[in-house]
A and B are shown apart, each in its own frame.
Chain A
Amino acid sequence: MIWRILKKDLRRKRVINFIILVFVTLSTMFAASSVNNIITVTNGLGNYFEKAGMSDYFIATQGVGESSDEDAVTEKLGVLGSVKDVRIESAVFTMQDKMMKDGEYLLTNTNAYILMADDEAELNYFDSDNNVIKKVEKGKAYITASMANSAGLEIGDRFIYKPLGKEYEFEYAGPLKDALFGSDFMGDPRFIISREDYDEIMSEEGMEPYKGLIILVDTDDISAFENEMPIIEGTLFKAPQSMIKKAYLMSMLVAGMLLAVSVCLIGIALVVLRFTIRFTLEEEFREIGVMKAIGLKNGSIRNLYLVKYFGISVIGAATGLFLSIPFGNMMLKSVSDNMNMVGDNTFLVSVICSVGVVALIMLFCFTCTHKVNKLSPIDAVRSGQTGERFHRNGLLHLGRSKLPTASFLALNDVLSSPKQYAIITAVFTLLMLMIMLLANMANTLSSDKLMFLFGIDKKDVYIADFNNAIEVVGMDEGGEEELVKKCREVEEILADNDMPANVTIEALILAPVTHGDKHAQINFVKNCQTRASDYQYTEGTPPQAEDEIALSILAAESVDAEVGDTVTVTVNGEEKDFIVTALFQSFIQTGSCGRFSELTDTSKMKIAGYTSFIVDFDDDPSDKEIDSRIERLKDIFDTDEIVNTEQFVKDTTGAADVIRSIKNMVIIISVLICLLITLLMERSFISREKAEIALMKAVGFKGRFISLSHTLKFTICAIAAAVIASAATYPFTKLVSDPIMGFMGAVSGTEYKIVPVEIFVVYPLIIIAAAAAGTFITTVFIKAIKASDTADIE
């Protein structure tokens, strides 16, 4: 008998049942694939690092002397008690303009390029088939996968390397997976070539300053090592393994965002289920009453519904599980291009997720069918009327309203069933907030709101022509002066081209800092041509005297210092006391850095790196004029790496485009969800309001008027959702994104960029239009109700 009833129900409510099936399928697909991906990426990263033989700490140096002397470095580090093992890779550090293909730059990446011989590898580097690259043929080069892929390189492509005067031709042998520098956030392309080629390059006169070391330190106690780590000359970069893992944040972010979408979808699926179950019970009070009258127990009746939803859940979950495999692989593709993920993708995790979704849905159904217990046989006899007075329905008065009739009826219906329509509004709000969150993140990551985090003042143009001052890195002294000279040269070029401007550059200087028993090597930012007070600080006052410094919040935490504390910093080879006068937020070195006062003498310190040339035009040009000048400057300096503030932030964070593409996917998903929700709910409303619709038609209302009135109900909900989402977008973005930005260095919160037209107009309109379209399409079912159906009114 149960099967007969079920069969009839499935046939009668096929649209609603189908929509629930779709929601369960989508929820399972997203949940299974994203949980699986997060586990895969998290575990996979650990496994990948293990397979690659990653050490616990990494230091990169460049220059002559100790900077490229393997024995000296091994000896210096080997004596430390915290060090278990030191491995060193010797390499050449080179820049973008040295690698050309068909007259263009080989790669679009502007970070340092690392050129290394195959037998120098102390880490395992994998090819596209996840085999360790042990030997490279002469004349060939493997290049880091993400950079090679984004430059569209094909195996067999030829390119020229011209470090000084001589040209070397190479053939692209294939992508390589580099655990240390291969993440999008690190973005330093590594070229592995044959020993013969490497020796030939290094034999060229003048190559010594470009030589460097990649030092891999194994230790059981990172903080002990950091505490006793000596300064190694020419240090460009140093980081523990945990920071390298952070650089894979973007891959985690993608999986995390999709997991958030899955959670929202499961939430929406439950809302839909609740609505459907409640609705079905309301509709079937008579059948339930009769079943009770003939002696069926509550449990048996509830089983009837639970069996149905169990069947739908199992079919949906199985379909979702099946679909999650290609979908998950698609999501993982960008990650697996960069990482060796073989054997990490666990199908079992997907199965557990699917079973979890079914269990969650069944638990939810069980609680929702509780209402069965409350219905009695009398309900069947009295056609659902209990004789009790309920709350007042109508809130508005037609006679006193100025609204058009259809709008009046829609608004009155919405206000009369606030709980029901509040659920719909909540779903629409959630969809809008999901899109707005991603849009705000993407816009902020490509706006000048984050400029302060890069230790750079907001100016007109940034010239990332790093080759211009490469010789400054590693100079024993006078590096700062040299940088100022370079700035003057750029100013002259600009003045010659009728673009007079003030040009500055920020130098990065590595210095050991001690506070009590805490030691750390901190990268300080120094600009000889600006004042420390030109920058933003979250606490304290800018360093103004020569013995004052500011520290980033994370750097201050690393040495346990606060504003007002005195720390010891080794400057120009001497230990000096400095007062910490201010704290600030920064993305530099993932949040751990400092700033000297302009009066502090650092002239004898090595420059570890520098920022772009920062151009501030004298004539205060408009944004349009700046864009036009950028185009001219690209020709003058023969580089594409000349950008405005927004582009600078976007390029540096490198996350805006990834988030933007996730946002576009979420928009499509949200529109689909919106269409499905409106279809399901409007179909249910039409079914429940059949009598009213028939009556309206009988009295003389046209079908299109009724359709309009129904469409307006959902439109009103979507408009209400737009208002709520618009009001909540900033706090919601802050709530969700602050921890992520904090992870990247902005620990005291970030000011997010809201693009008003996009956030308050475009996205709300997309959801409003989807809601209206979904409802309007569903109102075709109104056509099937005839005026003469009034005869069937019960």
Chain B
Amino acid sequence: MTNILEVTDLCKTYIINKKQNNVLRNISFSISEGEMVAVMGPSGSGKSTLLYCVSGMDRLTSGRVVFGGRETAKLSENELAELRLDEMGFIFQQMYMMKNLSVLDNIILPAVKSKKNSESRKQTEERGRALMHRLGIDEVGGNDINEVSGGQLQRACICRSMINSPKMIFADEPTGALNRASSDEVMNELLSLNNDGTTVMCVTHDPKVAAKCSRVLYLVDGKIVGEKEMGHFGGADKELRDRERTLNNWLMEQGW
């Protein structure tokens, strides 16, 4: 499998009150196309910072990040924005959307702006509706974002992340603000996308979420201290329970 993301000696340092704070220290890893990788670790370990750095949302202090064969450090802000718009999808814990747009308009907004999209707005809207149908939220397309549940909103965020058919989706605690039922639904959708070939990198606290991923990276104090190969998840409940047990044991070993 080809690597879609290669990270070498990634460092990220913040200066706060004249004190140097090394959030990420010499991190190296790679993600192959079609993988679903979870990043776990205690609070403040640098998980989200890692996700932002590798997705081009934040600049590195040093090191190298290559996404789809392009070194992100060498790209300008505008080129990075185009890369994020066309090749990446994002899901955030807070399910944030543009408050003055309907759910459907929020979903299709990145497609309307994308240069690689040659469709008419009507066709884009149809595609947006199809994605919503697939995720089971087609009835809320015309709703305001404050007129839908958290689970529906997060699924809408997944639709938005998918609208430009990205090579990779970056998810930061995608189920962090959801109840268990909604959380399962959202993770099943991500799994389904992954099964269709989309690479996923997901930051999470939740072993139940991480157990559905094919690989888990464990971060402590800005360093990857462990890596667990989980294999592809078939989808059965029993398999999930077994994977959760295995992962929990491994996490205990890492000091979770």
Binding site for B on A (CB under 8 A): 389-390, 392-394, 397-402, 405, 409, 412-413, 416-417, 691-692, 695-705, 786-788, 790-791, 793-794
Q: A700-B86, A702-B77 are in contact. List 7 more A-B contacts (CB 8 A).
A: A390-B146, A393-B99, A399-B122, A400-B122, A405-B109, A702-B82, A703-B81
- Which of the residues B96, B109, B110, B121 comes within 8 Å of A790, measured between beta carbons? B96
Binding site for A on B (CB under 8 A): 48-49, 52, 56-58, 77-78, 81-86, 88, 90, 92, 94, 96-102, 104-105, 108-110, 112-114, 121-122, 124-125, 128, 144, 146-147, 160, 172
- Of B52, B82, B83, B113, most buried by chain A (CB within 10 Å of CB) is B113
Report the minimal beta-carbon distance from B146 to chain A, rounded to whole angstroms.
7
Query: Do B109 and A398 have beta carbons less than 8 Å apart?
Result: yes
- Which of the residues A398, A413, A692, A787 comes within 8 Å of B121, measured between beta carbons? A398
Report the minimal beta-carbon distance from B79 to chain A, rounded to whole angstroms.
10
Query: Do A787 and B105 have beta carbons less than 8 Å apart?
Result: no
In the bound assembly, the distance between CA atoms of A277 and B185 in angstroms comes to 43
- Of A398, A409, A413, A794, most buried by chain B (CB within 10 Å of CB) is A398
In the bound assembly, the distance between CA atoms of A392 and B102 in angstroms comes to 9
A/B interface sample: 26 pairs, CB < 8 A: A393-B99, A394-B144, A398-B101, A398-B109, A398-B112, A399-B108, A399-B122, A399-B124, A402-B121, A405-B112, A416-B100, A692-B99, A695-B97, A697-B57, A698-B90, A699-B110, A700-B81, A700-B85, A701-B81, A702-B78, A702-B81, A702-B82, A787-B56, A787-B58, A788-B58, A794-B94
Query: Do B101 and A394 have beta carbons less than 8 Å apart?
Result: yes
In the bound assembly, the distance between CA atoms of A382 and B78 in angstroms comes to 37
Query: Do A698 and B105 have beta carbons less than 8 Å apart?
Result: no
Query: Do B83 and A700 have beta carbons less than 8 Å apart?
Result: yes
Query: Do A786 and B58 have beta carbons less than 8 Å apart?
Result: yes
Report the minimal beta-carbon distance from A147 to chain B, rounded to whole angstroms.
63
Known: A699-B85, A701-B85, A793-B96. A393 touches B144 (CB 8 A): yes
Residue numbers in A under 8 Å from B99 (CB-CB): 393, 692
In the bound assembly, the distance between CA atoms of A397 and B144 in angstroms comes to 12
In the bound assembly, the distance between CA atoms of A703 and B78 in angstroms comes to 8
10 closest A-B pairs by beta carbon, nearest first, are A700-B85, A399-B125, A787-B57, A700-B84, A788-B58, A788-B52, A398-B105, A416-B100, A788-B57, A702-B81
Residue numbers in A under 8 Å from B98 (CB-CB): 409, 692, 695-696
In the bound assembly, the distance between CA atoms of A791 and B101 in angstroms comes to 22
- Which of the residues B56, B84, B100, B114 comes within 8 Å of A393, measured between beta carbons? B100
In the bound assembly, the distance between CA atoms of A703 and B112 in angstroms comes to 17
Residue numbers in B under 8 Å from A409 (CB-CB): 98, 100-101
In the bound assembly, the distance between CA atoms of A698 and B81 in angstroms comes to 8
Known: A392-B144, A697-B81, A793-B92. A412 touches B101 (CB 8 A): yes
In the bound assembly, the distance between CA atoms of A654 and B11 in angstroms comes to 75
Residue numbers in A under 8 Å from B94 (CB-CB): 790, 793-794
Residue numbers in A under 8 Å from B49 (CB-CB): 788
Query: Do B84 and A698 have beta carbons less than 8 Å apart?
Result: yes
B interface, over-half SS: helix
Nearest-CB residue, chain A, relative to B114: A700
Query: Do A790 and B57 have beta carbons less than 8 Å apart?
Result: yes
Known: A695-B96, A699-B84, A700-B82. A791 touches B104 (CB 8 A): no
Known: A398-B109, A700-B82, A700-B84. A787 touches B52 (CB 8 A): yes
Query: Do A397 and B105 have beta carbons less than 8 Å apart?
Result: yes
Report the minimal beta-carbon distance from B123 to chain A, rounded to whole angstroms.
9
Report the minimal beta-carbon distance from B53 to chain A, rounded to whole angstroms.
8
Nearest-CB residue, chain B, relative to A705: B113
Known: A397-B105, A399-B122. A790 touches B92 (CB 8 A): yes
Residue numbers in B under 8 Å from A412 (CB-CB): 100-101
Report the minimal beta-carbon distance from B255 to chain A, rounded to whole angstroms.
24
Residue numbers in B under 8 Å from A416 (CB-CB): 100
Report the minimal beta-carbon distance from B202 to chain A, rounded to whole angstroms.
15
Residue numbers in B under 8 Å from A413 (CB-CB): 100
Residue numbers in B under 8 Å from A399 (CB-CB): 104-105, 108, 121-122, 124-125, 128
Nearest-CB residue, chain A, relative to B128: A399
In the bound assembly, the distance between CA atoms of A700 and B55 in angstroms comes to 11
Residue numbers in B under 8 Å from A697 (CB-CB): 57, 81
Report the minimal beta-carbon distance from A647 to chain B, rounded to whole angstroms.
55
Report the minimal beta-carbon distance from A20 to chain B, rounded to whole angstroms.
27
In the bound assembly, the distance between CA atoms of A701 and B160 in angstroms comes to 13
Nearest-CB residue, chain A, relative to B105: A398
In the bound assembly, the distance between CA atoms of A420 and B52 in angstroms comes to 35
Residue numbers in A under 8 Å from B144 (CB-CB): 392-394
Residue numbers in B under 8 Å from A691 (CB-CB): 96
Residue numbers in A under 8 Å from B57 (CB-CB): 697-698, 786-788, 790
Residue numbers in B under 8 Å from A701 (CB-CB): 81, 85, 110, 113
Query: Do B160 and A699 have beta carbons less than 8 Å apart?
Result: yes
Nearest-CB residue, chain A, relative to B101: A394
In the bound assembly, the distance between CA atoms of A669 and B25 in angstroms comes to 55
Report the minimal beta-carbon distance from B41 to chain A, rounded to whole angstroms.
15
In the bound assembly, the distance between CA atoms of A34 and B160 in angstroms comes to 58
Query: Do A703 and B77 have beta carbons less than 8 Å apart?
Result: yes
Report the minimal beta-carbon distance from A370 to chain B, rounded to whole angstroms.
25
Report the minimal beta-carbon distance from B81 to chain A, rounded to whole angstroms.
5
Nearest-CB residue, chain A, relative to B121: A399
Residue numbers in A under 8 Å from B100 (CB-CB): 393-394, 409, 412-413, 416-417
In the bound assembly, the distance between CA atoms of A79 and B92 in angstroms comes to 101
Residue numbers in A under 8 Å from B128 (CB-CB): 399
Nearest-CB residue, chain B, relative to A417: B100
Query: Do B84 and A787 have beta carbons less than 8 Å apart?
Result: yes
In the bound assembly, the distance between CA atoms of A786 and B101 in angstroms comes to 22
Report the minimal beta-carbon distance from B72 to chain A, rounded to whole angstroms.
12
- Of B88, B96, B97, B110, most buried by chain A (CB within 10 Å of CB) is B96
Query: Do A405 and B105 have beta carbons less than 8 Å apart?
Result: no
Residue numbers in A under 8 Å from B121 (CB-CB): 398-402
Report the minimal beta-carbon distance from B163 to chain A, rounded to whole angstroms.
10
Nearest-CB residue, chain A, relative to B113: A405
In the bound assembly, the distance between CA atoms of A412 and B102 in angstroms comes to 11
Nearest-CB residue, chain A, relative to B112: A405
Known: A399-B108, A786-B57. A699 touches B90 (CB 8 A): yes
In the bound assembly, the distance between CA atoms of A697 and B55 in angstroms comes to 12
In the bound assembly, the distance between CA atoms of A691 and B92 in angstroms comes to 12
Report the minimal beta-carbon distance from A282 to chain B, rounded to whole angstroms.
13
Residue numbers in B under 8 Å from A793 (CB-CB): 92, 94, 96
Residue numbers in B under 8 Å from A705 (CB-CB): 113
Residue numbers in A under 8 Å from B102 (CB-CB): 394, 397
In the bound assembly, the distance between CA atoms of A398 and B121 in angstroms comes to 8
Report the minimal beta-carbon distance from B43 to chain A, rounded to whole angstroms.
13
Query: Do B172 and A398 have beta carbons less than 8 Å apart?
Result: no
Residue numbers in B under 8 Å from A417 (CB-CB): 100
In the bound assembly, the distance between CA atoms of A93 and B99 in angstroms comes to 78
In the bound assembly, the distance between CA atoms of A393 and B144 in angstroms comes to 7
Residue numbers in B under 8 Å from A703 (CB-CB): 77, 81
Report the minimal beta-carbon distance from A68 to chain B, rounded to whole angstroms.
82
In the bound assembly, the distance between CA atoms of A506 and B88 in angstroms comes to 85
Nearest-CB residue, chain B, relative to A700: B85
Query: Do B110 and A398 have beta carbons less than 8 Å apart?
Result: no
In the bound assembly, the distance between CA atoms of A701 and B57 in angstroms comes to 11
Nearest-CB residue, chain B, relative to A408: B112
In the bound assembly, the distance between CA atoms of A409 and B101 in angstroms comes to 8
Report the minimal beta-carbon distance from A695 to chain B, rounded to whole angstroms.
5
Nearest-CB residue, chain B, relative to A412: B100
Nearest-CB residue, chain A, relative to B103: A394
Residue numbers in A under 8 Å from B122 (CB-CB): 399-400
- Which of the residues A401, A692, A700, A791 comes within 8 Å of B110, measured between beta carbons? A700
Nearest-CB residue, chain A, relative to B93: A793
In the bound assembly, the distance between CA atoms of A700 and B124 in angstroms comes to 17
Report the minimal beta-carbon distance from B82 to chain A, rounded to whole angstroms.
7
Report the minimal beta-carbon distance from B13 to chain A, rounded to whole angstroms.
14
Residue numbers in A under 8 Å from B92 (CB-CB): 695, 698, 790, 793
- Which of the residues A393, A405, A692 comes within 8 Å of B96, measured between beta carbons? A692
- Of B49, B77, B147, most buried by chain A (CB within 10 Å of CB) is B77
